């Protein structure tokens, strides 16, 4: 445990650095672990990245041409461990880390799922039909990709290099609040149907394929 009473995991410290990376124009995920065992997970943008995100939305037409954005948990000036340690220490002192950032303690938890595809826009549309929001991101000079948050899990959709086939053997499962509505939305975008919604031993379920051919199970969320 660090002298200041917390440990930091910073996503940008595990990236492969590129010559043109700008530490003042990027976004990343971070984890804060306190001495008492509590752990917090945050999505962080730099101020400059916010301006770029707005401009890219204006150019692409997304989010009503930049009229709004789904904000991250925190903004900082730059990707710099020394600065972020000071920021976290200041947050802990006043007003304190937010409860919504708290990671519910489990021995093992899934944090990241990355899907790689030749059909990045089709895949984004497919998974947005489930009800999630996939926002465009780019880390430094890396490829444009999409990312969204599902509780404590980050789902990312990355482009594959030309000539590399997507892995269609992965099977995914999602709980959705309105299964019938989601199923109709997927039908409208042409998703291949494996199994229409029906009652099973595991609850009401449908199974479809995403644009890469992955089987995706959809379950009606209890109370949805």
The pLDDT, as a whole number, for residue 224 is: 39
Digit-by-digit pLDDT tens for the chain (224 residues) are 555 689 999 988 887 777 788 999 999 999 999 988 889 999 999 999 999 889 988 988 888 888 988 889 999 999 999 999 999 999 998 878 999 999 876 667 888 999 999 999 999 999 999 999 999 998 888 899 999 998 889 999 999 988 899 999 999 999 999 999 999 999 999 999 999 999 887 889 999 999 999 999 999 986 53
Q: What is the pLDDT of residue 119?
A: 94
Shared domain for 8 and 84, answered yes or no, is: yes
Let me know whether 137 and 183 are in one domain. Answer: yes
Domain boundary among 109, 124, 141: 109
pLDDT at residue number 136: 93
One domain, residues 2 and 96: yes
pTM of the model: 0.57
Same domain membership, residue 124 and residue 223: yes
Number of domains in the chain: 2
Span 129-162, pLDDT tens digits? 999 999 999 888 889 999 999 888 999 999 998 8
Average pLDDT, the chain: 90
28 and 45 housed in the same domain: yes
Q: Are residues 102 and 180 in the same domain?
A: no
Q: 135: which residues sit within 8 A by CB, 6+ positions away?
A: 53, 69, 70, 146, 147, 148
| Cβ-Cβ contacts under 8 Å for 95 (sequence gap 6 or more) | none
Angle at 78 between CA 39 and CA 98, to 5 degrees: 30
CATH number for the domain spanning 147: value is: 3.10.180.10
Residues 162 and 83 in one domain: no
105 and 13 in a single domain? The answer is yes
State whether residue 114 is helix, strand or coil: strand
Residue 129 is predicted with a pLDDT of 96
Query: Quick one: 118 and 196 in the same domain?
Result: yes
Question: What contacts 20, CB < 8 A, 6 or more positions away?
Answer: 140, 141
pLDDT at 16 (0 to 100):
72
* DSSP for 47-73, written as a single string: HHHHHHHHHHHHHH-HHHHHT-----S
Same domain, 197 and 182: yes
d(CA 210, CA 192): 7
Domain boundary among 57, 80, 109: 109
Residues 71 and 161 reside in one and the same domain: no
pLDDT of residue 223: 52
Q: Residue 62: which domain range?
A: 1-109
Same domain, 142 and 92: no
- Cβ atoms < 10 Å from Cβ of 159: 17
pLDDT for 57 equals: 85
């Amino acid at each position: 445990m660090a002298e200041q009473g917390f440990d930091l995991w910073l996503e940008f410290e595990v990236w492969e650095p590129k010559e043109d990376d700008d530490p003042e124009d990027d976004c990343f995920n971070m984890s804060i672990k306190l001495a008492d065992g509590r752990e917090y997970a945050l999505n962080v943008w730099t101020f400059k990245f916010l301006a770029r995100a707005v401009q890219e939305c204006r150019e692409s037409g997304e989010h009503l041409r930049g009229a709004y954005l789904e904000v991250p948990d925190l903004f900082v000036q730059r990707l710099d461990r020394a600065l972020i340690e000071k920021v976290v220490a200041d947050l802990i002192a006043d007003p304190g880390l937010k409860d919504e950032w708290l990671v519910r303690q489990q021995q093992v938890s899934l944090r990241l799922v990355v899907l790689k595809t030749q059909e990045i826009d089709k895949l984004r549309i497919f998974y947005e039909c489930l009800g999630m929001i996939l926002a465009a991101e780019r880390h430094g000079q890396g490829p444009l990709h999409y990312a969204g948050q599902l509780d404590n899990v980050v789902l990312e959709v990355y482009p594959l290099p030309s000539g590399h086939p997507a892995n269609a053997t992965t099977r995914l499962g999602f709980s959705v609040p309105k299964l019938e509505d989601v199923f109709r939305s997927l039908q409208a975008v042409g998703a291949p149907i494996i199994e229409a919604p029906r009652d099973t031993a595991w609850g009401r379920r449908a199974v479809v394929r995403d644009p890469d051919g992955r089987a995706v199970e959809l379950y009606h969320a209890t109370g949805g």
